[in-house]
């Protein structure tokens, strides 16, 4: 008989990079576009707009990478501290740790005898890994990865910022805001769809959220730019 292989793809396997990538792309697209809208509304100098947009993409990517690396590194440090504490407890009192692990399995539905047997077998193979997974909730999938998060944030920020940067380069300053707004809102909508599909969620609410806040940000930036331009 042919052996049936069951393949599954779970969204949780992508959570490590998905959050940072979606956040970075949204930020790159919207912050760069908002800066362009503000600058061109204040002073329609094409060269100044392009310089501001390019600076925003580069500085934003570095800032996102540094911020993600620092924050996720702090999470990683906390995880490592918990693992060291757990390893010390396993060395000092392995019987109590086995009982603790067995109690977890009992709470999940196993009877006491089977839970103790399972705990014993898992601890015999890799006691720290068993406690990390079932007591602390740490696995290879969920564990903090600072470098991965930093690279995903920086790369996605640059990718998101390329669309408004291209519009700024290719469009004359007097018409820039009228081209920028629809391009950015369409890109935000597409990004909302991609993020929703990658995360296994409905696309409609995601698109509505990102387009609404994108339009609000562009509107505020344009208004502030025009106000500053008038005052100056």
* pTM, full prediction: 0.70
pLDDT at position 231 is: 43
Q: What residues have CB less than 8 Å from 77, skipping those under 6 apart?
A: none
Query: Looking at residue 15, what is its pLDDT?
Result: 53
What pLDDT, on a 0 to 100 scale, did the predictor assign at position 166?
93
User: Which mean pLDDT values do the consecutive 10-residue runs of the chain (232 residues) have?
Assistant: 49 55 83 91 87 92 89 88 89 89 90 90 89 82 79 89 92 90 91 76 84 90 78 42
- Predicted confidence at residue 202, as pLDDT, reads 81
Q: Residue 54: its pLDDT value, please?
A: 92
């Amino acid at each position: 008989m042919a052996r049936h292989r069951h393949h599954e793809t779970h969204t949780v396997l992508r959570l490590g990079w998905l959050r940072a990538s979606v956040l970075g792309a949204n930020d790159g697209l919207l912050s760069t576009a908002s800066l362009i809208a503000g600058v061109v509304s204040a002073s329609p100098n094409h060269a100044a707009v392009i310089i501001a947009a390019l600076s925003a993409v580069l500085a934003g990517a570095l800032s996102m990478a540094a911020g993600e690396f620092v924050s996720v590194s702090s999470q990683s440090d906390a995880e490592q501290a918990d693992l060291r504490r757990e390893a010390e407890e396993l060395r000092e009192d392995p019987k109590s740790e086995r009982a603790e692990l067995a109690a977890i399995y009992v709470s999940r539905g196993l009877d006491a005898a089977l839970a103790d047997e399972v705990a014993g077998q898992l601890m015999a193979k890799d006691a720290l890994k068993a406690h990390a997974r079932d007591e602390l909730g740490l696995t290879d999938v969920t564990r903090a990865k600072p470098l991965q998060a930093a690279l995903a944030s920086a790369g996605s920020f640059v990718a998101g910022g390329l669309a408004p940067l291209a519009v700024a380069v290719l469009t004359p300053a007097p018409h820039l805001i009228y081209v920028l707004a629809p391009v950015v809102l369409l890109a935000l909508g597409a990004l909302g769809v991609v993020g929703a599909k990658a995360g296994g969620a409905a696309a409609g609410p995601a698109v509505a959220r990102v387009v609404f806040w994108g339009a609000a940000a562009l509107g505020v930036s344009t208004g502030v730019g025009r106000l500053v331009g008038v005052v100056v």
